Amino acid sequence: MQRVSRRTLLKGSLAMAAAFATHGCATIQSYKDLIGFRPVPLGAGRSKMPVISPDYEFHTLIPWGLPIAPDGPRFNYPPTAADQAVQVGIGHDGMTYFPISEDGLRGLLAINHEFGRNPHLLGVSAPTNLDQIRTSQHAHGVSVLEIEKSGTRWQRSGSRFNRRIHANTRVMFSGPVAGHALLENKVDNPFAGTLANCSNGRTPWGTYLTCEENFNLYFGATGSFEAGESQARYGLTERGAGYDWHRFDARFDLSNPDYRNEPNRFGWVVEIDPADPASLPVKRTALGRFKHEGAAVVTSGDGRIVTYMGDDQGFEFIYKFVSADPWQTMRDRGRSPLDEGILYVAHFAENGSGEWIPLTMSDPRLSARFADQAEILTYARIAGSIVGATPMDRPEWTSVAPDGWVYCTLTNNSRRQMPDAANPMAPNRNGHIIRWQDSDDHLGTSFQWNIFLIADDHYESDQGFGSPDGLWTDPDGRAFILTDGRQPQGIHNQLLIADTNTGKIARLLTGVPKCEITGVTTTPDRRTLFVNIQHPGYGDPRLTNFPAPTDGETVPRDCTLAIRRKDGGIVGS
Ligand code: FEO
Ligand code: CA
Ligand code: CA
């Protein structure tokens, strides 16, 4: 294994000390420990049920298959296509809580449904008819559910806002690629829907962003298909990835000329207004097409919004989008701040500086390759390579801390052979977290960066972990780290809290066999933390029956946890 151990890493620890100082701590002695809970010991992390710190408790809500309307069809395994269209989807991932009451204790939870493998979702390893494909399509997308707190527990409340958005829902496209030939098929289908909904974001005007990640997995070819450079870069292959939608639904058949551009209709950030169930989801093409992990939105001092985004694949890039004008002005004039602006891609220099490179036609390297801005955005990955963006170790979630530092998880990259300063491990088996601070209050094209942590440095410790994926930095300086991948001593995926001032790390929760821990959102009072258990046991009831009690038979279901400190304190503390 190779590792970069040059000044960059030293810079990282110096920057950590600097950050420590800027948090207003006069002396080390007066610093208040941000993490006060007793962590879950490493040895406890192999249970069939989640294990949480003794200072915390949790209960479950919103399992896969819950009827969206209180009197809707109950969960029956495996679900029918009709039932699944009006039930909570599978593959719970990123989510946001939108308060709708003054005390913040009644609200809408918007949840992404990223993926569901056939055996878990359908009860068979391969679908044999279109009806099963519809079930699978209806299990993807997004659920919105109204919930409220009663005593110390959460439950569903009204249903006026409840809705399901899935792979066959009517959607709109907006921004520079909308109406472009690259999105047109011979068969016009406004029910393009959304799928592979990974991480998420929240706009300052109260809408939800759901991000389409591994859309390529749902495509395959029944006949011959030549990917070409543009589609090969997005991983589209004749074979597909086992979902087999293409065998029964022509829309996902890459060899069907009627749907030639269907793959271009996925890989976008999609905006949903949770407060208006009649509104159409909108694919915001100005944010570029790639395997979007998430979208962390921040408002700069002048009112423009900046959205940070990772493209989760080995050697892909980190991007940001800056709106053309202050968001309130744009919205007042009937324009969307997500439709007009500049998409940038990140270059990390070895010396700890960095540059945001605009992906526009004014760059002669791009105008030589692409016909127009729409084409640049549709093939943003290729544009990023042309301008010399830095290939990263699978950029997953981004989060903007209150002090302006932007954190990004780089989950792992077993294929890396040559380390560089920003990706210092080769191969990178356990991942790291990078952070940067942009010039000009997030608007500038230069930044300073360092590495916040390298998972290998902690892997063998009692608070060890690998493959950081979900990430949220809270207003006090804690980083919530959620994992998806190999963990030390074979423990299940986990949620850890890191103090970004001191680097201290403590394990708050471990999941169930074969699950991913993902999705992180809190109530405004930060007394409740919602987290998701994704694909428990990969559907195998011999491994876990979560959230049902252990009986060895009940099929496990993706589910949300509502977590609280037993003393009612701030979550993470
Ligand atoms: Fe959907 Fe990159 O995790
Ligand atoms: Ca993820
Ligand atoms: Ca993941």
Q: Which ligand is closest in space to the CA of residue 112?
A: 1
Summarize pLDDT for 94-151 with one digit per residue, the tens.
999 999 999 999 999 999 999 999 999 999 999 999 999 999 999 999 999 999 999 9
Angstrom distances, CA of residue 10 to CA of 5, 6, 218, 426, 500:
8, 7, 44, 19, 16
Total structural domains in the chain?
1
Q: State the distance from the centre of ligand 1 to the C-alpha of 328, rounded, in angstroms.
A: 31
Which domain range does residue 516 map to? Answer: 2-213+267-565
Rounded-to-integer distance, Cα 329 and Cα 33, Å: 41
Name the pTM for this structure.
0.96
Task: pLDDT band for 2, please (50, 70, 90 cuts).
Answer: confident
The model's confidence at residue 5, banded by pLDDT at 50, 70 and 90, is: low
The reply to whether 245 falls in a domain is: no
Reported as a single tens digit per residue, the pLDDT across 367-410 is 999 999 999 999 999 999 999 999 999 999 999 999 999 999 99
Distance CA 506, CA 27 (A): 23
Assess whether the C-beta atom of 83 lies below 6 angstroms from ligand 1.
Answer: no
> Is residue 339 within 6 Å of ligand 1 at its C-beta?
no
pLDDT at 30: 66
The predicted structure's pLDDT at residue 392 = 99
Evaluate if residue 554 carries a pLDDT over 90.
yes
CA distances (Å), 545 to each of 315, 482, 513, in order?
37, 22, 10
What is the 480 CA–ligand 2 centroid distance (Å)? 14
Is residue 355 predicted with pLDDT exceeding 80?
yes
Q: Tens digits of per-residue pLDDT, 142-173?
A: 999 999 999 999 999 989 999 999 999 999 99
Has residue 53 been placed in a domain? yes
Atom of ligand 1 nearest to the CA of 198: 1
Nearest-CA residue for ligand 1 atom 1 is 198
Any atom of ligand 1 within 6 Å of the Cβ of 114 = yes
Does residue 27 register a pLDDT over 70?
Answer: no
Confidence band of 3 (pLDDT split at 50, 70, 90): confident
- The answer to whether residue 241 is domain-embedded is no
User: For residues 289 and 264, is the Cβ–Cβ distance under 8 A?
Assistant: yes
Residue 473 lies in a domain: yes
Specify if 246 maps to a domain. no
Please give the mean pLDDT across all residues of the chain: 95
The pLDDT value given to residue 432: 98
User: Ligand 2: distance of its center to the CA of 497 in Å?
Assistant: 17
Q: Which residue has the higher pLDDT, 3 or 118?
A: 118
- What mean pLDDT comes out for the span 551-569? 98
**Residue 95 CA to ligand 3 centre (angstroms):** 14
> Is there an atom of ligand 1 within 6 Å of 198 CB?
yes
CATH of the domain at 323: 2.120.10.30
Q: Which residues contact 414 (CB under 8 A, 6 or more apart)?
A: 314, 427, 428, 429
Ligand 1 and 393: CB distance under 6 A: no
Report helix, strand or coil for 5. coil
Percent of the chain topping pLDDT 70: 95
Per-residue pLDDT tens for 40-82? 999 999 999 999 999 999 999 999 999 999 999 999 999 999 9
- Domain contains 258: no
Whether 199 is covered by a domain: the verdict is yes
Q: What percentage of residues in the chain have a pLDDT greater than 90?
A: 94
Mean pLDDT of 418-434: 98
